[in-house]
Amino acid sequence: MVDASQIKEHMEVVGADGVHVGKVDHMDGDRIKLTRKDEAHGQSRDHHHYLPLANVSSVDGGKLWLSADAANAAQLFEEKDGSPIQDRL
């Protein structure tokens, strides 16, 4: 498992295929809180989404690498209460 202390604010989140998925806002317990807005990924949300730390495969090259490719990454995201997101990215 990835050491949460390696994860930094505004670190880029990429899928296993290297495609941009989002940016880290900060750690929130054992989950990563993603920024609400990410112009590079076309995201303009009214609230944050979360990513369980268990879905991160590595932190390398200043990027947080997910265990899924970018096309499937939205399936890993959660709402604040831990439920799956309703609006797929």
User: What would the pLDDT profile of 26-75 be if each residue is shown by its tens digit?
Assistant: 999 999 999 986 665 555 556 788 999 999 999 999 999 999 999 898 88
Average pLDDT over residues 19-31: 93
Query: Which residues are registered as beta bridge partners of 12?
Result: 23, 63
Model confidence at 88: pLDDT above 60: no
Q: Which domains does the chain have, with CATH numbers?
A: 4-76 (2.30.30.240)
Contact 64, 53 (CB under 8 A): no
The three-point CA angle 64-65-68 to 5° equals: 140
Confidence of residue 84 (pLDDT cuts 50, 70, 90): confident
Q: Which residue has the higher pLDDT, 7 or 87?
A: 7
pTM comes to 0.84
Distance CA 21, CA 77 (A): 11
